Amino acid sequence: MRGVALGSALLVLAMTAGVLRGQAPRFDVLIANGRIVDGTGAPWFHGDVGISGDRIVAIGSLGDATAATRIDATNLAVAPGFIDLLGQSEFNVLVDGRAASKILQGVTTEVTGEGSSIAPVNDRLIEEAAANAAHFKIAQDWRTLGDYFRRLEERSHTAINVGTFVGAGGLRNYVIGKDDRPATPAELEQMRRLTAEAMEQGALGLSTSLQYVPDRFASTDEIVELAKVAARYGGVYFSHQRSEGIKIFESLDEVFAIAERANIPAEIWHLKTAYKANFGKMPEVLRRIEAARARGLDVTANQYPYTRASNGLDSCIPLWAREGGLEKTIARLRDPATRDRVKHDMDDATATTWENQWHGAQGGDGVMLSSVLNDGLRKWEGMTLAQIGKAMGKDPRDAVMDLVIADRGESAVITSIMSEDDVRTALKHPLVGVGTDSGAQAEDGPLSISKSHPRAWGSFPRILGHYVRDDHLLTLEEAVRKMTSKAADRVHLHDRGVLRPGMVADVTIFDPATIHDVSTFENPKHYSAGVRHVLVNGRRVVADGTITSERPGRPLRGPGYRASPMR
């Protein structure tokens, strides 16, 4: 890495020396006459950007320069490539390396690995994922994070850069399975070793997804022990909180405790105040994050700009019914007495031991089936569970359980659980960044078969169009800062996120007058409009609004890669 940085510095110096000698510089790519929004939050300015190889080498008035490729950016915004802080495309890029719905939003880098990461995996975990892999014809030929990164580099070329956390839930599943019990000392030590190995292979840090099985069964103490390992390698801690609803303040306290006890920077994924009883709590949530920072904790958050969430359909059934894994879940759901208990718990407005998203979404009217793996169930996609139950002639809660059985836990849903006021309050706060929380999709090919949440298609353009240009909720410069330098800083990607000589040439060029999201909940499979050109590592993956054949994306490894732990 030092060699790359030194080479980039020498290239910049050579270009500068040529200019000083009166020679007209020549670049591989020249972006001319743009409104440069450099990612720092500073006001935009007119200028040109010169790129050689994979690096930015000059910014300013470069009118006499020549280039192999010249991009006219008149009236267009030239920004650092957008960084999706929860991209979820680690598997999708193996299926379709274009990452089409992301690059047409201007995304050049994804951060992923929410609770369960792509690696490490053992034979049992590979078997658990076998149905999905077989459906998309993907050979599961990796075991470690190092194996996965090598596959990206050598065989599965992508249009975007990919960095990932190691998921504490995935480690718990690897060692313990999905049982609700504490880890033994020997099991905890094995999870520590797996954390260290993943950090040395390039993980950005440790993650949790504490609403779901098996992450939910981990104690705060267990998470702290793994976070301490990640911190020794310079990693960070990102979390889907244990509660986004009735116990959100206690959940915030847990995030703060982990950050403090492990001495690690922390970030809250897809910040929200979920369910009607908690609408209006966002100002207090943000105040508590500010207070944590005031006492020295490096804690921030990110969000997607929609009032509906998305996760697995099985999340609509209580936690106890999901404990132990898929086969135990299905066996419970086939038992009539147990089904009655499940239905009772799904209607429990006072539940505190799990996030009751079924009740929180107001039941079947607020839960839409978005995608399935079983082709025989595809006719139900895009319908609410109330509509599906009516068509099936059964209670919508029974429809939930029958679909979980029929699709073997692979179905996803969209839930109406947030208020627009809370979304807007978070979006304008400087500590809150941006993540789609969805994998890349496409209008054609294998990723086009199912429906999906529109956040996979439109999160970044929706902010820049609806909230910046139309509503003036925040400035263009501040929105771009959230999408670029703020994101890069959170995961220690120090050579991206800002337009500056010597930085990697990840660049997004868009029309601020026309950029907007097109995807909707009812009709999601549409690319956003207004992104004109996208460069990843100096090569154009989008040219004049069209996806090119370039696949220059790279694995982005964290600070512990091939390094000894910091003492």
Q: What angle do CA 153, 159, 165 make, to 5 degrees?
A: 65
d(CA 9, CA 28): 17
Average pLDDT, the chain: 95
Which among 231, 289, 247 has a CA at the least distance from the CA of 431? 289
Parallel, antiparallel or unpaired: strands 26-36 and 77-80: parallel
The model's pLDDT over 72-119, given as tens digits with 9 standing for 90+, comes to 999 999 999 999 999 999 999 999 999 999 999 999 999 999 999 999
Whether residue 565 has pLDDT greater than 90: no
Q: What pLDDT score was predicted for residue 8?
A: 52
Amino acid of residue 406: A
- CB count within 10 Å of CB 20 equals 8
Q: What pLDDT score was predicted for residue 564?
A: 53
The model's pLDDT over 414-469, given as tens digits with 9 standing for 90+, comes to 999 999 999 999 999 999 999 999 999 999 999 999 999 999 999 999 999 999 99
Whether residue 17 has pLDDT greater than 50: no
Q: What pLDDT score was predicted for residue 562?
A: 76
Q: Which residues pair with 83 in a beta bridge?
A: 109
Region 376-391: mean pLDDT is: 98
Question: 203, 117 in Cβ contact below 8 A?
Answer: yes
d(CA 499, CA 492): 16
Whether residue 371 has pLDDT greater than 80: yes
Could you tell me the pLDDT band of residue 3, with boundaries at 50, 70 and 90? Answer: very low
Whether residue 509 has pLDDT greater than 90: yes
d(CA 549, CA 538): 14
d(CA 176, CA 191): 10
158 versus 24: the higher-pLDDT residue is: 158
Domain boundaries, the chain: 2-80+529-547, 82-310+418-495, 311-415
Whether residue 546 has pLDDT greater than 70: yes
Q: What pLDDT score was predicted for residue 53?
A: 98
CATH code that applies to domain 82-310+418-495? 3.20.20.140
Whether residue 127 has pLDDT greater than 90: yes
Distances (CA, A) of 549 to 35, 87, 117, 330: 27, 21, 28, 44
- The structure tokens 């789609």 sit at 436
Torsion, CA 38, CA 43, CA 44, CA 50, rounded to 10: -40
Q: Which residues pair with 26 in a beta bridge?
A: 66
d(CA 538, CA 52): 7
Could you tell me the pLDDT band of residue 12, with boundaries at 50, 70 and 90? Answer: low
Parallel, antiparallel or unpaired: strands 205-209 and 166-167: parallel
Whether residue 20 has pLDDT greater than 90: no
d(CA 234, CA 227): 11
- This prediction's pTM: 0.95
The model's pLDDT over 246-268, given as tens digits with 9 standing for 90+, comes to 999 999 999 999 999 999 999 99
The model's pLDDT over 158-194, given as tens digits with 9 standing for 90+, comes to 999 999 999 999 999 999 999 999 999 999 999 999 9
Q: Which residues pair with 324 in a beta bridge?
A: none
Q: What pLDDT score was predicted for residue 23?
A: 76
Token code pair at residue 539: 């090569």
Is the domain spanning 2-80+529-547 CATH 2.30.40.10? The answer is: yes
Q: Can 2-80+529-547 and 82-310+418-495 be said to share one CATH topology?
A: no
